Amino acid sequence: MKLAILGGGGVRIPAFIRGVLASGAAAFDEIWLFEPDELRRETTGRLAVELGAALGQPGVVRLTPDVEEAFSGADFVFSAIRVGGDRARVIDEEVALRRGIVGQETTGPGGCAMALRTIPVLLSYCDLLARCAPGAVLINFTNPVGVITQAVSLHTSVRVVGVCDTPSSALDRLARFLGAERDRVAFSYGGLNHLGWITSFAVDGEERIGALLDRYEELARFDHVFAAFDPALVRRLGAIPTEYVYYFYEPARYVAAVARAGASRGADVERLNSELLDAIMTAFGAGGVNDAWAAYSMLMGVRRDTYMRTDTEGENQQAAARARRRAAGPADPGRGRPDGGRPGGYEGVALQVIDGLTGRSPGEVIVNTRNGASLGFLDQDDVVEVPALVHGGGVAPLAVGPLPRSARGLITQTKQYERELVDAAVSGDAGLAALALALHPLVPGVTVAREMMSEYRERHGPHLAYLR
């Protein structure tokens, strides 16, 4: 079984490679990392390859600047590209934040600009993939996952599954909070990527959502992800929103928090990633894979520890995270995690999809896929984020029970924005792109949408030059 990874030099790749090889989570004969950027190949790319060898599986991980080589004969392709790099993300966020509007990687104007840069590039990779490996399944993590998956689903012949770990991670956390075994849980979840709600959570057939809502303050203390929401609002909804819904429920609080912090998450990540590549380069110069892994895992840990802190708390808390991580000492690349090192995050979800589709372990996975009849208030060909049975025959969405009405309203509007945005990207129509943006619930009107779109086109130069 061959896996190809678009964006093979991404900063999460070494951790994924280590996890998948150490745990035997999936049986890949070859993992091809496609990375056009030389610096990335020499740092994260090299680290990934050498980790393979350190784990006793030399030759499995391969690095290439040639996408056709990566695609050829692939069974699965991961897409984790970032067109324009971290710099573009900073611009995406700034243009919105300057106007007091949510400036965020995936939600609102930032996600819109990112999608516009990405769709033409990914569609052209899909054309190539359809020729090189017609049966391959594309597992998309590229953000904004919902929009990108929608574009591939409507405009290519490639089989695509969009993956994000936000909802499954929330469910895991709820199970931990209740002390329940995760596989005795029956839940109801639905919406779009980064805009989904959990409306039912039953353990051994007994509904516990009421208990979770009643004890929401306690839950928020147990896990800070839930602390972003007003407990009374959550109780009134009768449903637990997943973390990115924060940008819809608290846009003004978010904008104020970023202003207080002095820098957006994008700016922090840009700095962290730059430091990371330098550190890996230095480590390879001085020592070898062990030093590189130590530097890598420390900085990735800081990144993880500070996730959403700026947005909800108004400071990035990097200093504290660094101190904690340094005190914990270096990680050993050969030592697995308590769970055997099976990759978590979205790569973990992707492996579940692969295990389902190959028939190795069919089961329920929350994915971004064509709606069919899953959410009755959306269209059949809308891409939605819902639990699906993933098995040898494919991906079959479950029937999702009723969502809160206000959630249906937000989802309906946001899906329409997504569909219009895909139309704009595919037609290369800048005016349509501005109108799409104007329909986003977080954008205060057409006039300001047109202004932002102009600014994005100016500042993103060649990446948006196709819009006319």
Q: Is 441 in the site for a copy of itself (CB under 8 A)?
A: yes
Stretch 218-247 residues interacting with a copy of itself (CB under 8 A): 230, 232-233, 236
Spacing of C-alpha 393 from chain mean position: 25
Nearest residue (CB) to a copy of itself, 169 versus 199: 199
CA nearest to 20, candidates 342, 358, 347, 293: 342
- Asked if 435 contacts 425 with a C-beta cutoff of 8 angstroms, the reply is no
73 binds a copy of itself (CB under 8 A): no
Q: Is residue 408 at the binding interface for a copy of itself, with CB under 8 A as the rule?
A: yes
According to the binding rule CB under 8 A, does residue 154 interact with a copy of itself? no
Of the candidate residues 173, 406, 426, 428, the single one contacting a copy of itself (CB under 8 A): 406
Neighbours of 281 (CB within 10 A): 16
Please report how close the Cβ of residue 187 comes to a copy of itself at its closest, in angstroms: 7
* Joined tokens for residue 283: 């480590």
End-to-end CA gap in the chain? 42
**Region of 34-42, 85-93, 406-414, 455-463 interacting with a copy of itself (CB under 8 A):** 406-414
Nearer Cβ to a copy of itself (224/253): 253
Give the C-alpha separation, 347 to 227, whole Å.
25
Residues 156-215 that bind a copy of itself (CB under 8 A): 159, 181, 183-187, 202-205
Residue 266 or 356: the one with the smaller Cβ distance to a copy of itself is 356
Residue with tokens 């055997």: 340
398 binds a copy of itself (CB under 8 A): yes
Q: Kindly tell me which residue out of 33, 400, 430, 467 binds a copy of itself, with binding defined by CB under 8 A.
A: 400
Give the one residue of 275, 363, 427, 461 binding a copy of itself; rule: CB under 8 A.
363
Q: Is there binding between residue 252 and a copy of itself (CB under 8 A)? A: yes
The CA-based angle 342-348-350, given to 5 degrees, is 140
Alpha carbon distances (Å) from 142 to 85, 111, 392: 12, 11, 25
- b/e sequence 11-45, b meaning 16+ C-beta within 10 Å: bbbbbbbbbbbbbebbebebbbbbbebeebbbbbb
| Nearest distance in Å: CB 175, a copy of itself | 10
CB of 467 to a copy of itself, least distance (A): 15
Closest CA to 367 of 378, 379, 357, 377: 357
* Contact (CB, 8 A) for 247 and 102: yes
Comparing CB distances to a copy of itself, the nearer of 64 and 412 is 412
Residue 286 beta carbon to a copy of itself: minimum distance, rounded to whole angstroms = 48
Interactions with a copy of itself, residue window 274-333 (CB under 8 A): none
| 89: contact with a copy of itself by CB under 8 A | no
